Amino acid sequence: MTLHFQCLPTDLDPEQVKDYLYELQQRSQTPSQTYFKHTVYGLRFLLKTEGLPYQHLHLPEIKKDKKLPVILSREEVWRMLQSAQLMKHKLLIGLLYGCGLRCMEVRSLRLRDMDFDRQLLHIVQSKGNKDRYVPLSPHLIRGIKTYIAAEHPTDYLFNGQPQDRSGGDASASLSTGFDSRYSQRGVQWAVKTVAKQAGILKEVHTHMLRHSYATHLLEDGVNIVTVQKLLGHASIDSTMEYLHICQLPEHLPQSPLDKIFAQCSRHGK
């Protein structure tokens, strides 16, 4: 934009900026949506450093692509649980799906957050600095107790491996602020690896298990306000998207192919 107008963007009037962005989208060699977004984000960064509001240049709103989340079937979740070779991985998948946890939340679980007697899991200071409680399955409780007895964690439920960055022993990395939690990359790798071992062709990631949790709850008849609270969504609009993919019996249409098979089979065709 600076090269095009031979001046700083902050010296332009709103109409010039609007015309430039429109032209950027209409050129024969149309730039990608990502390039267009980066142009707008660059302008916003410039305005922020100059202490000017976004409205100064009336920058267009960048709308997010509306894509429905992809979920796992119950059978696919079961196959993942059966395919996990390590107890640690089995529990990770069980907690991500069975409690609808985000990756950061499962990494941050402490022993003190689990109330086995009341069968509740305390999610502490998650997204938006909010706490919440979610039901903890008796199946998970049995697995967690077995895991604790074998691994002897003392603070976080899942510990990572210290990376020696100083050329010395592991204690050196601890003294430089090593995060003892299981790493985000480690959680993501575990989920993808187990999904592959289970023969699942979908591009499985940690958040897909959370999507599946929400969708299956709605299919089981749990009301959407309760699902919102269990997920820790600040707005119910975020939870509403799962209504577009859950299969409620009263709303589930039947394929016309099923009717053809039923009619023809009765007449021996």
In whole angstroms, give the CA distance from residue 267 to residue 255.
Answer: 20
Structure tokens at 57: 């240049």
In whole angstroms, give the CA distance from residue 143 to residue 91.
Answer: 7
Whether 214 contacts 227, CB under 8 Å: yes
**Among 102, 107, 181, 216, the one annotated catalytic:** 102
Catalytic site residue 127? yes
CA distances from 185 to 81, 182, 190, 192, 251 (A): 20, 8, 9, 11, 39
**Among 210, 211, 213, 216, the one annotated catalytic:** 210
Other C-beta atoms lying within 10 Å of the C-beta of residue 97:
25
Catalytic site residue 139? no
Catalytic site residue 145? no
Catalytic site residue 130? no
The DSSP line for 213-249 is HHHHHHHTT--HHHHHHHHT-SSHHHHHGGGGT---T
Q: List CB contacts of 126: < 8 A, sequence separation 6 or more.
A: 102, 104, 105, 132, 232
The three state secondary structure string of 77-110 is HHHHHHHCCCHHHHHHHHHHHHCCCCHHHHHCCE
Structure tokens at 147: 């895991």
**Among 44, 110, 207, 229, the one annotated catalytic:** 207
Q: Which amino acid is at 175?
A: S
For the chain, state the CA radius of gyration.
Answer: 25
**Among 127, 142, 196, 202, the one annotated catalytic:** 127
Active site residues per annotation: 102, 127, 207, 210, 233, 242
